[in-house]
Structure 1
Amino acid sequence: MTKPALFQPIKAGSLALKHRVVLAPLTRLRADLDTAVPFDPSTEYYAQRATDGGLLITEGTLIAAEAGGMAGAPGIYSPQQIAKWKQTTDAVHKKGGRIFCQLWAFGRLADPKLVPTVWTVDANKPFAYFETPTPVTELAAADIDRFVGYYRQAALNAIEAGFDGIEIHGANGYLVDQFLQPVSNGRTDEYGGSVENRLRFPLRVLNAVSEAIGPERVAVRASPFGDFGGMRGDFNPLDTFIPWFKAIVAAQPKLAYVHAMAPRVSGADDQDKSLVDKRGDSLDPLREIVQGAGIAFISAGGSTPASALAEAEKDGNLVAFGRHFLANPDLPARIENGWPLNPYNRKTFYTRGAEGYADYPFYKAPN
C-alpha cells in the first residue's frame, strides 16, 4: 500500500528527507539573559523531536548582539553559543535527524531596554511595539554592509556548530521583512521605493550566506500575508512577494527550500478566518513559483494532521508544525499512526523554566 505523500521522501537542497513533517521555528526564550547561550534542556528539547530523515528548524537565533531585542533569545555569534548548539546538532544527528538554524535580526521590533540601538529601515516609519515609543536609528549604507556581514558570519558559525544549513528569517516584520515591505520601507535611496530596490538588502543577505556555505544549505522564510509587527498595511502582498519569490529562485536556483506562512496565521496568533476568506489570500501563486523552479516548498501555520496529509497529497510540499510539535515530541509518528495528540499549554510557550519545554510526554498505548 502506498504511503501518504506526507511520509514519502523528498529532496531539499543538500537534504535527503524521509518524510515531510517539519518542526517550525518556535520562539521559546530559553537562553541565558546575559550571554544568549541556549538553556541546558534545549539539547533534549530538539533531540526529542528529531526523527530519522526528518527536518527541524530552530527558534529564531540572533546573528549578532546588536541584532537582538528580545530577552531569552539565543544567539549564534559567540564561541560559547556555537559550542552549546554543537551539543544539540550532535544529538539530533545521532537520531538521524536534520536541523537548520534560523538566523534572526530584529530591526524596529527590538526592545530598546535590551540593545544600545534600535535599528530601523526607515526612521520615518518607526513602530511602537513596546508600551513606550521606541527611539530608532535608520540603517545607513555602512550599517547595512555590517548587517550583511553578520548574516554571512552567522551562517559560517552555524555550519561550525554542526547545523545542516540555515534559514533566513524574512518574516513577521523583522529586519529582512522590513526592507521588503512598503509599509515599513519608504527609503528614497537604492534600498527603497521600487520593489526592485526593496529587494536589494534581502538579496544581498541571501547571496552572502549562499556564497559562504553553499545555496543547497540555505533557505528563506516569509510571511506574505501576516500583519504581525505592523506589517502588510493596505498594500497587496503579492505585489511584493511574487517579485521576491521570483528573485529568490533566479538568484539561487539550488536553494534548499522556501518556507512560507499560511494566510490563516500572523506571528503566533491565528488570523480572523472571515477576514482571510474575504481577502482571498492564498500561497498557491508563491508555491507555484518555488516548485516550478524545482525547489522544495514548506508551508506553515495552523496545520492539523488531517490538513497536512491532504496538503501534501494535493501540493507535494512539506508542512511545518509549531504548537502541535511543541506539545508532541513524537508528532510524525502520531500523525502516521493516527494516535491522539497532547494538548499544548499556551501559558508555558515563552516562560523561562523547564515546564512546557522538554516535559511533554511521548505516546503510550492504553493498557
Structure 2
Amino acid sequence: MGSSPSTSPPSSRTQVAIIGAGPAGLLLGQLLHEAGIDNVILEQRSADYVLSRIRAGVLEQTTVQLLEQAGVGERLRREGLRHDGTELAFDGRLHRIDFARLTGRSVTVYGQTEVTRDLMERRAAVGRTTVYEAQDVSLHGFDSDAPLVRWRHGGVQHELRCDFIAGCDGFHGVSRASVPAGAIATHEKVYPFGWLGLLAQVPPARHELVYANHARGFALCSQRSRTLSRYYLQVPADDRIERWSDTAFWNELRRRLPADVADRVTTGASIEKSIAPLRSFVAEPMRFGRLFLAGDAAHIVPPTGAKGLNLAASDVGFLADAMRDHYLERSDDGIDAYSERCLRRIWKAERFSWWFTSLMHQFPGTGEFDHRMQHAELDYLVGSPAASTALAENYVGLPMDLPTRATAAALIH
C-alpha cells in the first residue's frame, strides 16, 4: 500500500464511529470527510489482512459515482474496464445481453481489493484516523443520546464517545450482534451449493463476463483486469478445496463452457483458490437508536449478479446523505428514513440475485420438468426484448434515488 494507515489512538470524541474498515466503512468515512463530518474507523484485523481479501469487482454506475464523490475515482477511471453487456451460455451457445442498448447504462470491472486500496490511501492522505487491530470492540448506549465504543489496542483499553455508530463490520461483526434479539428480525435462505473460485494471472477468455448454465453445474468467466482473471464453478456445499487441483479446475471449467469460449481459456497457476457458500440474508430494521447497520452486517446476497459490494455502497450513500442532513441541514428526516430507504433497494436486489441464481444453477433433486422450465425461461429471456431489459436494468443497478426531504418524510410515515 502506498501510504501507511493510521493506527494511532483517536481523541476521546468524534461525530461518527465506524466499525469495520472494509469498503463500506472506508467509503462511508470518506463521504463523511468530504461533508466535513468527523469520523473514526475501528477495524479488528490488520490493514494487510483487509487488503488480502479476494472479492468481486463489478461496479454499478451509482457505486462509481459514490467513489468519485469520495475522491477516489481517478485510478478507477484510468484502469477500470467498462462493460456494456454480458453473455449467457446455454445449449452450447452464447447469447449477449446488451446493457447499453437496453438501458443506456453500463458496469465497470474494477476489483474490490483495488477499491479498498484506493480508499485506504485516500483516508491516510487526508489524515482521518483508522485504528487497525482493535480488539474486543463493544458498543454501548446507542439507544441513548450518548453512544460509546470501547476496545483494546496494544494492550491498552480505549473508549470513544460519539453521536452515532455505523456498523460496517460484516456478517460476523459485533454491530448486529449488539442489537437485542427482540429488536431485529432476520430472514435467510441457504443454497445447497457453493462457488469454487480460482484467481490466475491470465487474460480473460472473453471481453465481457460469461454466465454459463450447464448440466454439470453453473460456471462463470469473470475478470479483474486485462491480465487477471477470476473463474468460478458450482460445487456441492460440502465440497473441499483439497479435492481440486488447478488442472482439475481448468478441465471442469472447459467442460461447462461453449466450445468457442473453452478454446479461449488461458490456464495458469492459481493465485488464490477458495469455496464460498451461497446464501441470502436480510436483517431488519437497519437502525437502532443511534446505531446503523450497513453492508454485510445487514444483508448478504448470492454473488450471482454482483450485488454485494454495490448494495453496501448504496447503504453508506444513504447513510452519508442522512448524516449531512443532520449536521448541515438540522434535519433528521434522512436518519428516520434510513432503514426504509435501504431495505426497499435491498429486497429488490435480493429478488434479482435469487432469480438469477435459480435460473443459472443446477439444484439437487430436481427432475426433468424443472430442467425444461429452466431452459424455457432462458430461451424466453434471450428472445424477448422485455425480458432482456428486465435482466439488464437489474444487473446495471436500479437507480439509487436519494429522496428529497418531503419524500423522506413520506417514507417515515
Q: Same fold (TM over 0.5)?
A: no
Higher CA-based Rg = 2
Relative to the length of structure 2, the TM-score reads 0.22
Comparing both structures, which one devotes a greater share of its residues to strand? 2
Q: Which has the higher contact order (CA 8 A, sep 6+)?
A: 2
